[in-house]
Amino acid sequence: MTDAICYRDSYASRVDATVVASELGAAGGGPLVVLDRTVFYPGGGGQPADRGVLLRAADGRRWQVRAARKDGNEIVHELEPAGVEPPRPGDRIEVDLDWARRLLLMRTHTALHALCGVVWRDYGAQVTGGNMEPGTARMDFEFERMNADLVDAIEAAVNTELELGREIRVNVLPRDEAFAIPDLIRTKVNLLPPGIAEIRTVEIVGLDLQADGGTHVANTSEVGRIQVTGYESKGRINKRIRIALAGGGPA
Ligand SMILES: [Zn+2]
């Protein structure tokens, strides 16, 4: 079982760890490494996995990590290039994220939740899906009456919320407790597999509360401003809104 630090401390960008297992990997993929602990986010909920490096303490050798993923209770790091010899079990490793990219993803992810919160609060429209890259994102809503005027109003309202400096709180709740929160029922909590005993929630205090496994900034002021860069109809009811970070936030 990997100690997955990202879920309790999204600002941890490096950690010392020990290799638990490694293998050359399947054809076409890179070598795979499991550590006893890691700061890598393994992807999920629309947020891409982290990239970064592993550094071996003993000889300073360095490996690029192109992605990470969850496999049961473990986080598997995939190295590049394919065919490179991975570190060995027992090796002491310094784990280092591509922090600039991760921070951009955290700001983008929190911006998406602010968008969800505003669209639900002001229009009662539910989210049906979403995805993000560092600095840009899209989100789909059941939002029949969306139009250009509404999109401008949504952009302004999201920026107002971000500027308010709302705190972001992460909690882990027993499943029953999570299911008793009306705000969670409207989002994806009812789609979670029955076997999950605990549910992690991300709250933008005063605006939005969701079941979510992603990494977020601690305060909406760190997001800066967003711009709605496009919207499209994915059918009569389903509409897609595209956003980009538009400046502000951390330098
Ligand atoms: Zn999310």
Distance 89 CA to ligand 1 centre (A): 34
The predicted-structure confidence for 108-151, as pLDDT tens digits, reads as follows 999 999 999 999 999 999 888 899 999 999 999 999 988 888 99
Distance 56 CA to ligand 1 centre (A): 33
Confidence (pTM):
0.94
Distance 47 CA to ligand 1 centre (A): 7
The predicted-structure confidence for 157-204, as pLDDT tens digits, reads as follows 999 999 999 999 999 999 888 888 877 766 555 566 677 788 899 999
Ion ligand 1 nearby residues (CB, 5 A): 45, 212, 214
Cβ-based neighbours of 141, under 8 Å, separated by 6 or more:
119, 125, 126, 127, 128, 238, 239, 240, 241
How far is 37 from 107, CA to CA, in rounded Å?
A: 24
